[in-house]
């Protein structure tokens, strides 16, 4: 070959690789937009809802929630059965014989011991480590490991080799100490015994939470090694890549192109694969909410899991108009017990009907950094609860819900959505200027707030910084809050809009003054909300620390009487909502979905909003506007009753 032709051949080869090496894959059976770019596919390190939503496609725990049932009942997962001891402290789980990893290897009880141990290590810094502290000896083990790590860095070693050997020796000691201290034991491959410190009424709900899902030890262990300098276990994320990750859920990850897309194919070894109606899932990375809606309207997307476009209030209004046009039929179907998705499916097709607002088990709030000093070293006025109460009372919450959100969401006085948990009574919360019956009452609230600031010696020239991430209308809410504080308290504010990753890091590191936040409950108990304000909880982004509050949570954990336990938890919420205010609740969420109910089934209307995408069934298209599709009675679910009321 002529030397002159070699560069041409190389160039042609490179072009061919670029064209054919990145050839579009076939359309997946289900294509949906997640609410944000996935942060991690490591179950024990997850915290954000979009990560958990994705992980439920890939991983399965001992049990799971029946998300299409009215009561979110617990059903078998990897464990086909279980028993609870008479003292309600020891669970014995029996692993099914057909539970397998995506490589065909069996899922065993030992996989759960390995995975849960990862979550209990201080090395991991798991946001949900407190959940695992319910297990006997877990807290003692956690403290022991931390003490050993602290002592290690204070030692003097002769050379690097000795230090490295000592780090590995400590890791081996840690594993054996875990087996001795913690009430978690794999009797054999199919039997897992879990002993709790005390009875935990919602422990099975925790087992259904994705953070408790297993990971494949032979793979994950290759990416974890003790650091020779600190002895901490260092984790590299390479095992979560597409084509590398080994999972045990309905799907396996075939590709993950960061900020481009994620694709999954049905796991051929999943024990319940015959119940899965779709064979492939694609999750494109579309960060712009307007682009996401456009992609849906052009037919590229089947489901948007969380519509955040600024005009979604108009979309909800259009859906309400559509329902009003079919009022008689809607009322007839509601009387028969159909949920809103089924009602929409039994009405004529109309693009306006593709918007679905569902009351959610979550609350939007603003954090106050309660540390004594701000990130820049100045004294922090928000370390004083009186200041936090004053600012909390002077936010016009109803106006934010009514004029900015426009989704029918109720303004919030509590962290836990009232009426969302059976047997639990919410506190009243603080009065709010937006709820004042008249101007005289409004001025009285403002006067009370100013008096609190004066008592706390709040600086006259202090400028409050409001931090929030881009998109989803957080800027409009921040502007409204700033306007309320300026008008009512005469306080100047500075708005700090940040990229989502920087914003998240600042929250975790307490590098903010006030910051927007939100929380969705992970399980059906008040502690799913209250625990995030415990002084040692990984999700306590406020650095809030009140021994009385912590003790109430501890007392509730020891209380066996359900009524007394709920009373203790209600008092704990009263403290943070009426006295200490480490955060100020703004409104209780509604989640906005976008999908064609004539084509897609399997999504839940339950306010827990724990959607399992593997339950989705794509019914196909071709149904005309005057030809409502016949319903499968097995897929019809009753409407959910929530404190927020009906949403379109």
pLDDT of residue 437: 93
Non-local CB neighbours of 442 within 8 Å, separated by 6+ positions: 433, 436
CATH of the domain at 153: 3.90.76.10
Q: Flag whether 13 is in a domain.
A: no
Residue 608: name the closest of 202, 135, 296 by CA. Answer: 202
Q: Which two tokens stand for residue 644?
A: 């927020």
Spell out a b/e string for 554-591, using b for 16 or more CB atoms within 10 Å of the CB, else e: eebbebeeeeebbbbbbebbbbbbbebbbbbbbbbbbb
Count the residues in the chain: 648
Residues 150 and 53 in one domain: yes
Residues 487 and 561 in one domain: yes
**pLDDT tens per residue across span 53-69:** 999 999 999 999 999 98
Residues 621 and 480 in one domain: no
Non-local CB neighbours of 111 within 8 Å, separated by 6+ positions: 214, 215, 216, 217
pLDDT band at 624 (very low <50, low <70, confident <90, very high): very low
Residue the block writes with tokens 């051949």: 9
The yes-or-no verdict on residue 640 having pLDDT over 80 is: no
DSSP codes, 68-133 = TSTT--EEESSEEEEEE-TTS-EEEEEE-TT-B-TTSPBP-HHHHHHHHHHHH-TTT--TTHHHHT
Residue 527: name the closest of 617, 388, 415 by CA. Answer: 415
The yes-or-no verdict on residue 287 having pLDDT over 70 is: yes
State percent of the chain over pLDDT 70.
Answer: 92
Using CA atoms, how far apart are residues 330 and 315, in angstroms rounded to an integer? Answer: 19
The yes-or-no verdict on residue 634 having pLDDT over 60 is: no
The yes-or-no verdict on residue 619 having pLDDT over 70 is: yes
Average pLDDT over residues 321-342: 95
Q: Flag whether 468 is in a domain.
A: yes
Long-range contact pairs involving 72-78 (C-beta distance under 8 Å, separation at least 24): 72/524, 72/606, 72/608, 72/610, 74/204, 74/205, 74/207, 74/208, 77/208, 78/107, 78/214, 78/248
Q: Flag whether 380 is in a domain.
A: yes
Using CA atoms, how far apart are residues 102 and 100, in angstroms rounded to an integer? Answer: 7
**pLDDT tens per residue across span 299-308:** 999 999 999 8
Q: In this structure, are strands 463-469 and 514-520 parallel, antiparallel, or unpaired? A: parallel
**pLDDT tens per residue across span 37-48:** 899 999 999 988
- H-helix or E-strand containing 11? helix 5-20
**pLDDT tens per residue across span 229-282:** 999 999 898 999 999 999 999 999 999 998 899 999 999 999 999 999 999 999
* Reported pTM: 0.78
SS3 617: strand
Helix axes 439-455, 385-393, angle to 10 degrees: 160
Q: Which has the higher per-residue pLDDT, 83 or 610? A: 83
pLDDT band at 22 (very low <50, low <70, confident <90, very high): low
pLDDT of residue 470: 81
Q: In this structure, are strands 74-76 and 79-84 parallel, antiparallel, or unpaired? A: unpaired
- H-helix or E-strand containing 594? strand 583-594
Question: Which of 234, 265, 289 is the last residue before a domain boundary?
Answer: 234
Using CA atoms, how far apart are residues 474 and 213, in angstroms rounded to an integer? Answer: 33
* Range in 211-225, 269-283, 524-538, 624-638 the model is least confident about: 624-638
CATH of the domain at 468: 3.10.105.10
Count of C-beta atoms within a 10 Å radius of residue 608 = 21
pLDDT of residue 408: 86
Q: Which has the higher per-residue pLDDT, 15 or 414? A: 414
The yes-or-no verdict on residue 633 having pLDDT over 60 is: no
pLDDT of residue 72: 86
Using CA atoms, how far apart are residues 345 and 330, in angstroms rounded to an integer? Answer: 11
The yes-or-no verdict on residue 625 having pLDDT over 50 is: no
Residue 450: name the closest of 414, 480, 490 by CA. Answer: 490
Residues 631 and 518 in one domain: no
Using CA atoms, how far apart are residues 220 and 240, in angstroms rounded to an integer? Answer: 9
The yes-or-no verdict on residue 6 having pLDDT over 80 is: no
Spell out a b/e string for 334-344, using b for 16 or more CB atoms within 10 Å of the CB, else e: eeeebbbbbbb
Using CA atoms, how far apart are residues 620 and 300, in angstroms rounded to an integer? Answer: 14
Residues 383 and 529 in one domain: yes
Taking the alpha carbons at both ends of the chain, their separation in whole angstroms is 70
The yes-or-no verdict on residue 641 having pLDDT over 90 is: no
Q: Flag whether 403 is in a domain.
A: yes
Residue the block writes with tokens 């955060």: 583
DSSP character at residue 465: E
Residues 141 and 56 in one domain: yes
Q: Which has the higher per-residue pLDDT, 261 or 645? A: 261
Q: Which two tokens stand for residue 379?
A: 């004294």
Average pLDDT over residues 608-629: 65
Using CA atoms, how far apart are residues 55 and 39, in angstroms rounded to an integer? Answer: 11
Average pLDDT over residues 49-53: 92
Non-local CB neighbours of 561 within 8 Å, separated by 6+ positions: none
CATH of the domain at 311: 3.40.190
Residues 295 and 381 in one domain: no
Please state the separation of Cα 348 from the chain's center in Å.
Answer: 35
Residue 344: name the closest of 588, 594, 591 by CA. Answer: 594
> What's the whole-number average pLDDT of the chain?
90
Residues 105 and 202 in one domain: yes
Residues 58 and 76 in one domain: yes
Q: Flag whether 169 is in a domain.
A: yes
Q: Flag whether 158 is in a domain.
A: yes
State percent of the chain over pLDDT 90.
Answer: 81
Average pLDDT over residues 502-521: 94
Domain span at residue 108 reads 36-234
Residue 416: name the closest of 569, 591, 560 by CA. Answer: 569
Using CA atoms, how far apart are residues 142 and 144, in angstroms rounded to an integer? Answer: 5
The yes-or-no verdict on residue 586 having pLDDT over 80 is: yes
pLDDT of residue 16: 36
Q: Flag whether 307 is in a domain.
A: yes
The yes-or-no verdict on residue 637 having pLDDT over 60 is: no
Using CA atoms, how far apart are residues 77 and 320, in angstroms rounded to an integer? Answer: 38
Average pLDDT over residues 273-294: 94
Residues 227 and 266 in one domain: no
Paired strand residues for 359: 590
Using CA atoms, how far apart are residues 329 and 322, in angstroms rounded to an integer? Answer: 12
Using CA atoms, how far apart are residues 224 and 344, in angstroms rounded to an integer? Answer: 49
Residue 557: name the closest of 205, 208, 212, 134 by CA. Answer: 134
Question: Which of 234, 265, 284 is the last residue before a domain boundary?
Answer: 234
Using CA atoms, how far apart are residues 543 and 375, in angstroms rounded to an integer? Answer: 13
pLDDT of residue 239: 97
Residues 567 and 454 in one domain: yes
The yes-or-no verdict on residue 385 having pLDDT over 70 is: yes
The yes-or-no verdict on residue 526 having pLDDT over 60 is: yes
Question: Which of 165, 200, 234 is the last residue before a domain boundary?
Answer: 234
**pLDDT tens per residue across span 164-223:** 999 999 999 999 999 999 999 999 999 999 999 999 999 999 999 999 999 999 999 999
Q: Is the dihedral of CA 262, 57, 524, 575 positive or negative?
A: negative
Q: How many domains does the chain have?
A: 3
pLDDT of residue 471: 74
Phi and psi at residue 478, to the nearest 5° = -60, -40
pLDDT of residue 579: 98
Residues 611 and 529 in one domain: no
Q: Flag whether 246 is in a domain.
A: no
Return the ∠ at Cα 280 (arms to 278 and 285), rounded to 5°. 125
């Amino acid at each position: 070959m002529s030397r002159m032709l070699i560069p041409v051949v190389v160039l042609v080869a490179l072009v061919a690789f670029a064209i054919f090496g990145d050839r579009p894959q076939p359309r997946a059976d289900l294509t949906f937009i997640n609410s944000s770019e996935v942060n991690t596919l490591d179950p024990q390190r997850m915290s954000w809802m979009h990560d958990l939503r994705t992980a439920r496609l890939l991983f399965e725990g001992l049990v799971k929630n029946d998300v299409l049932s009215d009561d979110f009942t617990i059903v078998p997962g990897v464990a086909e059965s279980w028993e609870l001891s008479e003292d309600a402290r020891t669970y014995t789980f029996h692993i099914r014989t057909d539970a397998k990893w995506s490589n065909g290897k069996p899922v065993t009880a030992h996989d759960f011991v390995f995975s849960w141990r990862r979550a209990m290590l201080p090395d991991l810094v798991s946001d949900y480590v407190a959940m695992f502290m319910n297990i006997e000896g877990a807290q003692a083990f956690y403290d022991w490991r931390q003490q050993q790590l602290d002592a290690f860095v204070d030692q003097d070693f002769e050379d690097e080799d000795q230090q490295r050997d000592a780090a590995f020796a400590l890791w081996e000691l840690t594993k054996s100490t875990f087996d001795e201290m913690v009430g978690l034991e794999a009797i054999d491959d199919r039997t897992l015994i879990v002993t709790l410190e005390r009875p935990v009424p919602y422990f099975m709900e925790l087992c259904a939470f994705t953070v408790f899902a297993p990971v494949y030890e032979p793979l994950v262990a290759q990416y974890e090694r003790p650091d020779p300098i600190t002895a901490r276990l260092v984790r590299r994320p390479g095992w979560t890549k597409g084509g590398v990750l080994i999972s045990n859920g309905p799907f396996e990850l075939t590709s993950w192109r960061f900020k481009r897309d994620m694709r999954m194919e049905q796991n051929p070894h999943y024990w319940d694969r015959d119940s899965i109606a779709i064979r492939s899932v694609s999750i494109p990375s579309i960060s712009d909410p307007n682009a996401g809606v456009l992609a849906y309207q052009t037919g590229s997307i089947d489901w948007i899991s969380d519509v955040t476009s600024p005009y979604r209030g108009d979309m909800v209004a259009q859906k309400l108009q559509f329902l009003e046009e079919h009022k008689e039929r809607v009322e007839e179907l509601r009387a028969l017990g159909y949920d809103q998705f089924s009602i929409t499916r039994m009405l004529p097709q109309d693009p306006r009907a593709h918007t679905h607002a569902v009351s959610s088990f979550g609350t939007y709030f603003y954090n106050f950094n309660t540390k004594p000093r701000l990130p820049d070293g100045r004294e922090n006025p928000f370390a004083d609860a009186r200041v936090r109460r004053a600012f909390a009372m002077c936010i016009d919450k109803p106006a934010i819900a009514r004029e900015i959100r426009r989704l029918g969401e109720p303004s919030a006085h509590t962290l836990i959505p009232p009426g969302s948990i059976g047997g639990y009574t919410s506190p009243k919360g603080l009065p709010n200027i937006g709820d004042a019956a008249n101007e005289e009452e409004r001025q009285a609230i403002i006067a009370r707030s100013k008096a609190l600031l004066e008592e706390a010696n709040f600086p006259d020239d202090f400028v409050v910084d409001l931090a929030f991430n881009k998109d989803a209308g957080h800027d409009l809410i921040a502007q409204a809050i700033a306007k309320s504080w300026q008008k009512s308290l005469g306080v100047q504010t500075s708005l700090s809009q940040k990229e989502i990753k920087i914003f998240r890091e600042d929250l975790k590191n307490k590098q903010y003054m006030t910051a927007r936040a939100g929380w969705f409950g992970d399980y059906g108990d008040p502690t799913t909300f209250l625990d995030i304000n415990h002084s040692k909880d990984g999700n306590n982004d406020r650095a809030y620390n009140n021994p009385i509050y912590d003790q109430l949570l501890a007392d509730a954990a020891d209380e066996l009487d359900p009524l007394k336990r709920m009373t203790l938890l209600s008092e704990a919420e009263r403290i943070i909502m009426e006295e200490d205010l480490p955060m100020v609740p703004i409104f209780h969420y509604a989640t906005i979905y976008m999908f064609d109910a004539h084509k897609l089934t399997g999504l839940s209307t339950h306010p827990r909003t724990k959607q399992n995408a593997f339950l989705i069934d794509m019914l196909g298209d071709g149904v005309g506007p005057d030809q409502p599709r016949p319903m499968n009675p097995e897929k019809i679910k009753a409407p959910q009753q929530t404190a927020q009321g009906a949403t379109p």
